[in-house]
Amino acid sequence: MKKFIAILISLLISFYSSVTLSADSSYHLDKAKINLDDEQSLQRGARNFINYCLNCHSANYMRYNRLADIGLSDDVIKENLLFTADKTGELMDINMDSSEAKKWFGANPPNLTVTARSRGKDWIYSYLRTFYVDDSRELGWNNLVYPNAAMPHVLWELQGIQNLEDNKLKLNKPGLLSTEEYDQFVLDTTNYMVFMSEPAKLVRHKIGYYVIGFLLILMILVINLKKEFWKDVK
């Protein structure tokens, strides 16, 4: 009984947390149409995440060698993605000191390993696309999805500079990428973060297909066996 009550309480806490996290603002989240079976998207997302996010945010519940699940070999990981570690078996950690980070940003950048599970893919996709210039903020940026976020817009060179005019975002200075290219960049990054939050999910999906196939074959055998047993029974 005590175990049941403990499980019930943990479920209620998880539900409350998910509701609270999704209620940072009244902004309508855009749909992130990710595809975990798209290895190229996942690989591009891994590149984006490590190059742009892993400087300040850690992902130290994830190991580099899990990138093999999305088709990257150890050699490719070492040559292109291994910047803060020596071996692919190490965790995705950062070298930035937490006390310095708090001094610079006002808060420690959160661990992003399971953000896709706590916030949701639509939240991440919308958040990375809704930064705008706000001179009243210390770092000069604000966000529609997460108002007064401590994080600056690290992708502004790619997206360009947006301003909030009549409660709508307007791109006043284009970036290095077109709007479509930037949306794809963010979608790939979101896709990877969903994978990172639960890498075993891809393995479970693959095993699931084999299990379903086995059960179908077994069902055919069982049906034929039943017919054989009962063919002489009237």
CA 76 vs. chain centroid, Å, equals 22
Domain ranges for the chain: 2-198, 203-234
d(C-alpha 207, C-alpha 204), whole Å: 5
* Contact indicator for 34, 121 with CB cutoff of 8 Å: yes
pTM of the model: 0.78
Reported for 8-12, long-range contacts at CB under 8 A and 24+ positions apart, including other chains, are none
Residues 156/78, Cβ–Cβ less than 8 Å: no
Q: What is the CATH number of domain 2-198?
A: 1.10.760.10
pLDDT the model gives residue 16: 47
Is 106 a residue whose pLDDT tops 50?
A: yes
pLDDT bracket for residue 23 (50, 70, 90):
very low
Residue 99 contacts residue 115 (beta carbons within 8 Å): no
The answer to whether residue 156 scores a pLDDT higher than 60 is yes
Q: What pLDDT is stored for residue 179 in this prediction? A: 96
Mean pLDDT within 65-69: 94
Count CA atoms closer than 13 A to 3's CA, side-chain side. Answer: 0
Range with the largest mean pLDDT of 33-42, 76-85, 98-107, 196-205: 33-42
Question: What φ, ψ does residue 119 adopt, rounded to 5°?
Answer: -95, -40
In angstroms, rounded to a whole number, what is the distance separating the alpha carbons of residues 171 and 194? 28
d(CA 128, CA 30) in angstroms, rounded, equals: 11
Confidence check: pLDDT of 17 > 60: no
pLDDT, greater one: 164 or 21: 164
What is the percent of the chain with per-residue pLDDT over 90, rounded to a whole number? 65
More confident residue, 23 or 151: 151
Grade residue 25 by pLDDT with cuts at 50, 70 and 90.
low
The pLDDT assigned to 228 comes to 84
For the cut 80, the answer to whether the pLDDT of residue 191 exceeds it is: yes
Contact criterion met (CB below 8 Å) for 60 and 92: yes
Mean pLDDT on 79-90 = 86
Whether the predicted pLDDT of 41 surpasses 50 = yes
Give CA 231 to chain center in angstroms.
56
User: What does the alpha-carbon distance between residue 50 and residue 62 come to, in Å, rounded to a whole number?
Assistant: 12
**Binning pLDDT at 50, 70 and 90, where does residue 173 land?**
very high
pLDDT band for position 234 (cuts 50, 70, 90): low
Instruction: Measure the CA dihedral 97/102/105/110, to 10°.
Output: 80
